[in-house]
Amino acid sequence: MNGKQILGGIIFVGGLGLLYMAHYINVQVAEGNLQILSGERKVNQMNSLFNATPYTKDVGQGLTSGAQKQIDEGKNTIEYYTKVANRCQFGGIAALVVGAGMMFYFRKKKN
């Protein structure tokens, strides 16, 4: 193997690493989405309990405002990591193609 083939192999393995990282991030994002949905259900349930009168409505919103802020922050974090995962996936696929191409293109011809 020559140096260019070795470099192609390193790029190929790096692409596999990026694809694994993208998969891991996507799994974590899916778990975060489930937690956010659960939190939203609880907040909505709390708000519906306190929406009976205008006086209790303010109390309910006061009790759930902190949780709603955390839900909004969680959504922003999930949006950020979704973008990161998409970039890792695109970069990983590109690295796989380039690395495999280098390994095959620069192989030695046998006589």
* pLDDT band per the 50, 70, 90 thresholds, residue 109: low
The mean pLDDT of the chain is 89
Domain range spanning residue 26? Answer: 13-105
pLDDT at 96: 96
Instruction: Supply the pLDDT for residue 111.
Output: 52
Residue among 19, 23, 28 nearest 91 (CA)? 19
Instruction: Say how far apart CA 42 and CA 60 lie, in whole Å.
Output: 12
Does residue 40 surpass a pLDDT of 60? yes
* Burial (Cβ within 10 Å: 0-12, 13-18, ≥19) of residue 8: buried
Kindly state the average pLDDT of the residues 50-73. 81
pLDDT digits (tens, 9 = 90+) for 26-36: 999 999 999 99
Q: What is the mean pLDDT of residues 90-101?
A: 96
Q: Is residue 59 part of a domain?
A: yes
Q: What is the rounded distance in angstroms from the CA atom of residue 16 to the CA atom of residue 50?
A: 51
Q: Is residue 84 part of a domain?
A: yes
Cβ contact 96:14 at 8 Å: no
- 7 occurs within a structural domain: no
| Total domains present in the chain | 1
